Every structure is written in C-alpha cells, then in structure tokens.
Amino acid sequence: RTLIIGSAIPIAILVTFILMSSAGLTLNIMTLGGLALGIGMLVDSTIVMLENIYRHQRERRGDETLSVAESSGRAASEVNSAIVAATTTNLAAVLPFLFIGGLVGLLFRELIFTISAAIVASLMVALTLVPALAGRIPARREALLRRGVNRFFEGLQAGYGWLVRQLLRVPWLLPLLFIAALALIWPLLSQGRQVFLPNMDEGRIYVSVTADRGINLPNMDRIVRRLETLFSEQPEVETIFTQSGGSVFGRSQYQAANRASLQLTLKPIRQRGIDSRAWVARMKKAVKKLQLPGVRLYMRVRGIRGIRLNRGEDDVDLRLQGPDLETLARLAEQLVVRLREVEGLSNLSHSSEDVSQEISVRVDRERAARFGLSVEDVGRYLQLALGGIKVTEFLQGDRSVDVRLRLSRDEIANPADVESIIIFSRSEPRVPLRLGELAQIELLPAPSSIHRDQQRRVVEISASLGKGVSLEQAMQCVDKALEGFELPAGYRIYDGGGLEQLREGREMGQLLLGLALFLVFVVMAVQYESLRNPLVIMLSVPFALIGVVLGLQWSELSLSMPVWLGLIMLAGIVVNNAIVLVEYISLQLQQGVALDAAIVEAARLRLRPILMTTLTTVAGMLPLALALGEGAEMLQPLAVTIVSGLSFSTLVTLLLIPAVYRLIGARAG
C-alpha cells in the first residue's frame, strides 16, 4: 500500500504540472505555495480508496470465489461516489475565487488554480491508477509492525464504537455543547484584529531625516554619517543605501540640503533572530541617545515590495483637502498635534512639512511699462538667463546635441545675482536695465511639492502602526481624537484608501464564503438527490470556526484575506470526512441495517481513513503553518486556518455527525 501511495503522489504532481503548464503558470511563491498546500490533499482520495480495497481484500481471505481484481473493483465502486462528491465540493468551494478581479484576484488566482489542478489530479489518480495497482498487488501477510498498527486501530475502533453508542442515547447533548462553544468563541473572530494582508518581514527599513532649514550640505552629511555609523554597527544590518541633500527617483531629482534618507536591508530573519518592527523600536531608542538637535527622524518598516494598499507610503494615510495651501499646512499641523495623543501611532508627519525656498519676482508693472516692457517680457528674459534657449545643434555622426545659450552658474550663484540680470528696454533708445530696478526680489519658503487628489489640492498625513495595532482599531482612535475638530468651509478629511481596502476585502471574503457554502450544498444535493444527507454534512462546516479561532489566537495571527481564503477552502475540505461517513451510513441502511447499528458500524469502519486523510492534509500544510522559510508569512494564515479548522472539524465529524444523523434519521423514520 505504501508503494501505491508513493507512486500516486509523483504521478498526481506530474498531472498538476501539466495542467499548470497548459494555463501558462510559472513556478513562483504562489504556485509553490499552492503545491505545498495541495500535497497533503493529493493523497486524501487515494487513502480512502486504498483503505476500502485493503479492507475487502482482508475480508475475502479464504473466499476463492472472488479474485483480487474483482474484490478491488467491488471496493472501488463502494467509494467512487463519495470520492467524486468530496472532490467536487472542494472545487465548488474555490473556483469562484478565479473570477475575482482586483488586487485579491491578482495575488491569489495562481494559488487557487494550482490547488484546483492538484485536486483534479488526485481524483484522476484515485479513480484509475489506485484500483488498477491494488488489483494486481494482493494483500500480503502482515508484518509485525503492521500487525501492531492494525491492533492499535482495532482497539481504537472498538473504543470509538462504544463511545458512539453512548452518544446515540442522548443525541441532543453534543449539538447543544457545540452550539454553545461556537456562540462563546464567535466574538473573538468578529471583533478581533483585522488586516488586509499579513505583514511580510522582508527586512526593508526606510529612514527619513529632516533637519532645520538653513543647514548646509556638509553639516547635514555629518549628521547622516553618524546615523550610518550607528546602523552599520548593528549585526542585523546587511546593506545601507544613503541619499543626502535630497532624493533621486528614476530621472527625477529633488534637492534640499536639509533632507536625507537611508534605506536599510536587514539580514534574513533566521540570521538576525528579531522581527523588523522590534528592531526599529530598539533603534529609535538608540537614535535618541545620539542627541541630534534640530533633527526629525522617521523610521518605519517598508511593506511588501510592489504592493501598495494606501495611496501613501505608510500604514495610516489621511488626506486633508482644500483650496488654500497655507490653510492646509496650518490645519495639518494641528491635526498632527492631536494625533500624537493616539496610542499605537508613530512617525506622524504631513507632506506640507517638506518646505523649500523659492525666489519670488514681483514686477513693478508701471515702471516696466515706461521702458516698453511687460511682465511677459521680463519672464522671457529670466527664462533666457536661467534656463537658456536652444540656438543651434552640434552634430557628431548620427547623434545631435542641442546647444543652449544661458548665463553661467557662477554668475547666478545666489539670489542677489538675480537682481543683476540685464534686461534691455524696448523703447528708444535701448537702455540696459538691472532686474532689481524693475522688480522686487525675495527669497520665500514654499512647498517642495503640491499633492493633488482628483485634481484638488491635498496634504497627506501619515503614520506608522505599532506592533499589535490593527488599521481599523487605529482609525477608530483617530476618529475619536478628531471629534470637535472644526474645519473651514471647503475643507474635508478622508481616508487615503487603506481602511476602504480592508473593508472591501472583508465584504468580498464574506460574499465568497457564502457563495462557496451555497455551491457545496448544491453539488451535494444534486449528488444525493435529497436534502437530508447534505444538511447533515454541512453541519461540520460552521463548527470548524471554533478550531480556526483557537488556531489564530494561539499563533497570534490577524483576520486577513489569506484567512478568508482558508475559510473558503475549508468549506470544501471539512465536508470530505463527513461525506465518507454519511455515504457509508446510507449504504448500510440500503442493505437493511437498523439506524443505530448502521451509524455505529459506519463510524467504526470509517474512523481509520478519516484520521489518515486528516493527518496527511495537516502534515502537508504544517511547514507553511509554522512559517518555515522566507516569504511564508503571506500563506501562513491560510495554512493555520486550514490546519486548525480541519483538525477540529474531524472531531465534529466523528462525534457530532453521528448524533445529528440519529436525530434527523429518527424523524425521517
């Protein structure tokens, strides 16, 4: 039997690869995660089929009227419908996810397709290869270890059969206990910490440094070097990339002597042994000891590379919208002061803090008009002097280079030099004039950039979340802090998109879970052509939530989109064991066995395949549930959901389903 299962796994994986290739999928973290999740499920159908065949082969010993092949065929026919029903429910639960668009569909479509392909491959192998191989390999004399295992299971089956008989005497007791447990644990799920996606610890840290305006670049560079020295002394740091005096992004650059940034990359978490957020908290204390006067420093963990849930860069992103920039800056500063009182928020800042200096040129229109000059004429002279004008092209082979005429940098090194720019009057005689004679020139503070949302001016207010603080909890605290904060007419505050994304993801998860449950029920109703068995089987689904909540609480995970995906998959997986049990109860009843005897016999005989399929599925998902390896944080909540939910639902199947079938069956009888 081990040889048959061992050959079924690689063949099923090969079929899965063929299906993935036909869909144009590549090997990446999502498809490999799907294979890791599907490995345990690959052998479920094989185990159910093989256990039934092996039982028939043991029972036919001494009966020479049936060949091994005939015995295998008869055993396969008993469980064919149960295997098809279980596999179909698995597919019915997850297939709706393939038609979801947006970020959720983009992230998880390949994962779902890979799992679906693995399920289809396992069905093909279980219905064709396994019976064929089992029919050619007779049940051999049991070895000592196998006899010991069989005796253990026989004792377990006998004890379980006795327990089921006792439960059937008071069939209403267990349903009441499970309903009470579900009612007690439900608030932990509905009111617990919720996020859109789990935090992936990639070890990327962003540090923003802002000094007082007026600092020169050499002094700013000395401050940055002290920070570099501090960070480089930390054993967890692998690389440091620093930009001082502004920033460069692609072909664009921003110059500001009082601004700098450091991008740190930490070593893999196995080597550093500390969470990135904990490391940032530790380093904030170390930076304070440097005593850098006039320096504001913001340090945060960067999110998943290439995925932005907010329009901003940080965890919390608020938008303050209005027509006047000065009013926006004043209101933003007042808001930041209020939000500093909110626990769990750090790195509070707003975009209007980023101030540079500009030269303001106010032309005296009357004086300029005396010389025949307009404001536009003065502007053209400034453009010519500062920006230059193309006068010709220099050809070098096939390459042409523009030649621009402008003043040299040395002649306009400071604002005072701008006043000396020569402008010629248009009136006769042509008189050379200094720009300072025609205009008032001042050096004024100005915003480095003007942000717009839907073509309206906004100021972005950003903050980082503390460890263990959810976005929804933080926004509730923010709303309380802003109570009584009056805004002028034409101004408003709104979320930058993170909270909206979280709520949309939760609503989508609830919708897909409801659709999965409906499709699973429809598939079983069509399969059984009745409502009794599907209703009994579906009772194993809601009580799996008890195990899910316990698993999330134990592993300190939040309710996120991977958890919703795990719940959707559970809707199809947890019914498998119940299908195997209920199917055999129905088979016993068709053979004229009494209701209680049929339930006890089916429970006793199906105990072993139910336990084995559960163990293989759990074992296959255990590495992901334990987050072993880089990048496992994304799929860990999904695996924990399935492992904990399936483990508890097995208890529900073995204890609750017989009791419920007894209640419904007695009424039907």
Per the DSSP assignment, residues forming a β-bridge with 87 are none
Per the DSSP assignment, residues forming a β-bridge with 458 are 321, 451
pLDDT for position 241: 92
Helix (H) or strand (E) holding 211: strand 204-211
Whether residue 479 is contained in a domain is answered as no
Region 632-658: mean pLDDT is 87
Tell me which residue has tokens 């579900």. Answer: 182
The pair of structure tokens assigned to 17 is 């690869």
pLDDT for position 251: 63
Do 552 and 563 form a contact (C-beta atoms < 8 A)?
A: yes
Give how many domains the chain has, as a whole number. Answer: 3
Separation of alpha carbons 265 and 279, rounded Å: 12
Whether residue 276 is contained in a domain is answered as yes
Separation of alpha carbons 44 and 123, rounded Å: 9
pLDDT over threshold 80, residue 629: no
Contacts of residue 99, defined as CB under 8 A and 6 or more positions apart, other chains included, come to 105
Q: Cα Rg for the chain, rounded, in angstroms?
A: 35
Q: Which residue has the higher pLDDT, 667 or 388?
A: 388
Region 81-89: mean pLDDT is 80
Per the DSSP assignment, residues forming a β-bridge with 460 are 319
User: DSSP state, 200?
Assistant: P
Helix/strand/coil for 66: coil
275, 381: one domain: no
187, 221: one domain: no
In one letter, which amino acid is 326? Answer: E
pLDDT over threshold 80, residue 333: yes
Whether residue 352 is contained in a domain is answered as no
User: DSSP state, 503?
Assistant: H
pLDDT for position 616: 81
Separation of alpha carbons 95 and 317, rounded Å: 34
Of 2-6, 161-165, 614-618, least confident by mean pLDDT is 2-6
The band of 230, judged by pLDDT with boundaries at 50, 70 and 90, is: very high
CATH code, domain with 372:
3.30.2090.10
The band of 225, judged by pLDDT with boundaries at 50, 70 and 90, is: very high
532, 435: one domain: no
Phi and psi angles of residue 297, each rounded to the nearest 5 degrees, phi first: -125, 130
Separation of alpha carbons 17 and 452, rounded Å: 47
CATH code, domain with 245:
3.30.70.1430
Phi and psi angles of residue 466, each rounded to the nearest 5 degrees, phi first: -75, 165
Query: Could you report the per-residue pLDDT of 374-419, keeping only the tens digit for each?
Result: 888 888 888 888 878 888 888 887 888 888 888 887 777 777 788 8
By residue range, what is the domain housing residue 522?
2-196+502-668
Do 563 and 641 form a contact (C-beta atoms < 8 A)?
A: yes
CA angle, residues 279, 284, 289, in degrees to nearest 5: 125
266, 387: one domain: no
Select from 284, 302, 320 the last residue of a domain.
302
186-221 burial code (b ≥16 CB/10 A, e <16): eeebeeebbbbbbbbbbbbbbbbbbbeeebeeeebb
In one letter, which amino acid is 503? Answer: R
169, 271: one domain: no
Computed over every residue of the chain, the mean pLDDT equals: 81
Separation of alpha carbons 647 and 650, rounded Å: 5
Percent of the chain predicted with pLDDT > 90: 3
pLDDT for position 140: 56
74, 160: one domain: yes
The pair of structure tokens assigned to 629 is 């390896």
Helix (H) or strand (E) holding 379: helix 375-382
pLDDT for position 139: 56
The band of 87, judged by pLDDT with boundaries at 50, 70 and 90, is: confident
Whether residue 173 is contained in a domain is answered as yes
Contacts of residue 249, defined as CB under 8 A and 6 or more positions apart, other chains included, come to none
For every residue of 556-618, which 3-state class applies, written as one string?
CCCECHHHHHHHHHHHHHHHHHHHHHHHHHHHHHHCCCCHHHHHHHHHHHHHHHHHHHHHHHH
Q: Which residue has the higher pLDDT, 32 or 528?
A: 32
Do 577 and 109 form a contact (C-beta atoms < 8 A)?
A: no
584, 657: one domain: yes
For 197, 287, 455, the CA distances from 515, given in Å and listed in that order, are 22, 52, 39
Percent of the chain predicted with pLDDT > 70: 90
Query: Could you report the per-residue pLDDT of 135-194, keeping only the tens digit for each?
Result: 776 555 555 666 776 777 778 888 888 888 888 888 888 888 888 988 888 887 776 677
Closest CA to 5 of 122, 90, 139, 148: 122
The pair of structure tokens assigned to 375 is 């404001």
Closest CA to 375 of 361, 363, 360, 388: 363
Do 333 and 350 form a contact (C-beta atoms < 8 A)?
A: yes
Whether residue 539 is contained in a domain is answered as yes
CATH code, domain with 570:
1.20.1640.10
Select from 447, 463, 486 the last residue of a domain.
447
107, 207: one domain: no
11, 97: one domain: yes
pLDDT over threshold 80, residue 281: yes
Whether residue 488 is contained in a domain is answered as no
Helix (H) or strand (E) holding 514: helix 498-528
For 105, 109, 114, 520, 570, the CA distances from 95, given in Å and listed in that order, are 12, 10, 11, 11, 13
Q: For the beta carbon of residue 151, count every other beta carbon within 10 angstroms.
A: 10
251, 164: one domain: no
Query: Could you report the per-residue pLDDT of 504-558, keeping only the tens digit for each?
Result: 778 888 888 888 888 888 888 887 777 888 888 888 888 888 999 999 888 888 8
Q: For the beta carbon of residue 311, count every other beta carbon within 10 angstroms.
A: 15
Give pTM, 2 decimals.
0.75
pLDDT for position 70: 74
The pair of structure tokens assigned to 56 is 């028939």
pLDDT for position 294: 81
pLDDT for position 83: 81
Closest CA to 386 of 420, 363, 355: 420
Separation of alpha carbons 262 and 180, rounded Å: 54
Find the length of the chain: 669
The band of 306, judged by pLDDT with boundaries at 50, 70 and 90, is: low
Whether residue 494 is contained in a domain is answered as no
The pair of structure tokens assigned to 177 is 């206990």
pLDDT for position 313: 63
Do 51 and 616 form a contact (C-beta atoms < 8 A)?
A: no
Q: For the beta carbon of residue 663, count every other beta carbon within 10 angstroms.
A: 15
Separation of alpha carbons 13 and 39, rounded Å: 8
Helix/strand/coil for 38: helix
Per the DSSP assignment, residues forming a β-bridge with 298 are 208
The band of 68, judged by pLDDT with boundaries at 50, 70 and 90, is: low
164, 217: one domain: no
Whether residue 542 is contained in a domain is answered as yes
Region 639-659: mean pLDDT is 89
8-30 burial code (b ≥16 CB/10 A, e <16): beebbbebbbebbeeeebeeeeb
Give the max Cα distance, the chain: 129
pLDDT over threshold 70, residue 468: no
Chain centroid to CA 171: how far?
42
pLDDT over threshold 70, residue 617: yes
18, 92: one domain: yes
